[in-house]
């Protein structure tokens, strides 16, 4: 059976929490010190989907991983930029799923009218760096010792990707609901499958 990409639902919160919790508890990949429970994840999904895509990869009813975008900064001049994240269940890593999810996520963000994506990567993390650079993202700087987790000060590198050619006087990005009405929505959603 083929892996299906779709928008996350509030009902995915338990499965997303199961993927994310070990990452929070065992690594410095996330700077959360306590893993959010399913209720908090559910709230995050609902809030994110108002403006940005949150995708899940599902196969035979099981969630394999997820990727989402969020607001880069709150000032209006930043509205064409988004932060991105991808998390893959441990048993599904190294199979190209992160790249596939990002392919669909980038296509949807492009359709909405976003121009830039940014990813913060706690260092060292060669797998995540390789994934983001394979997506055409370039390193733009390092916040040194910006967070404290797992008994050590952690560095975070920042990567930037461009989604489309820059235009003079760009229109504000479409909401997710508006973008779903466009003819190219389904093609963008499944572009990474």
Task: Please state the rounded mean pLDDT for residues 117-133.
Answer: 97
Does residue 113 fall inside a structural domain? yes
Residue 93, domain extent: 4-119
List, for residues 26-71, the tens digit of each pLDDT value.
Answer: 999 999 999 999 999 999 999 999 999 999 999 999 999 999 999 9
What is the share, in percent, of the chain residues with pLDDT greater than 70? 100
Give the CATH number of the domain where residue 111 resides. Answer: 3.40.630.30
104 inside domain: yes
Q: Is the pLDDT of residue 106 over 90?
A: yes
pLDDT at 182: 97
Provide the pLDDT for residue 80.
98
Give the model's pLDDT for residue 1: 72
* Mean pLDDT of the region 67-92: 97
Is 114 inside a domain boundary?
A: yes
Could you tell me if residue 150 is left (phi over 0), alpha (psi between -120 and 50 degrees) or otherwise beta?
left
115 is a domain residue: yes
- The structural domain count of the chain equals 1
Gap between the terminal Cα atoms of the chain:
12
């Amino acid at each position: 059976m083929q892996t299906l990409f779709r928008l996350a639902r509030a009902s995915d919160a338990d499965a997303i929490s199961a993927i994310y919790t070990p990452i929070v508890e065992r690594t410095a990949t996330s700077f959360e010190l306590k893993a959010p429970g399913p209720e908090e994840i559910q709230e995050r999904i609902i809030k994110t989907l108002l403006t940005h895509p949150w995708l899940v990869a599902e196969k035979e009813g099981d969630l394999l991983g997820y990727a989402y975008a969020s607001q880069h900064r709150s000032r209006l001049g930043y509205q064409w930029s988004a932060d991105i994240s991808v998390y893959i269940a441990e048993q599904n890593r190294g199979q190209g799923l992160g790249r596939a999810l990002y392919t669909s996520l980038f296509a949807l963000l492009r359709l909405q009218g976003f121009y830039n994506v940014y990813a913060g990567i706690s260092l060292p993390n060669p797998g995540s760096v390789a994934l983001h650079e394979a997506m055409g993202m370039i390193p733009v700087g390092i916040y040194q010792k910006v967070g404290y987790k797992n008994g050590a000060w952690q560095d975070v590198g920042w990567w930037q990707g461009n989604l489309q050619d820059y235009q003079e006087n760009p229109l504000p990005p479409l909401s997710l609901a508006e973008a779903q009405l466009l003819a190219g929505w389904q093609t963008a959603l499944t572009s990474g499958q």
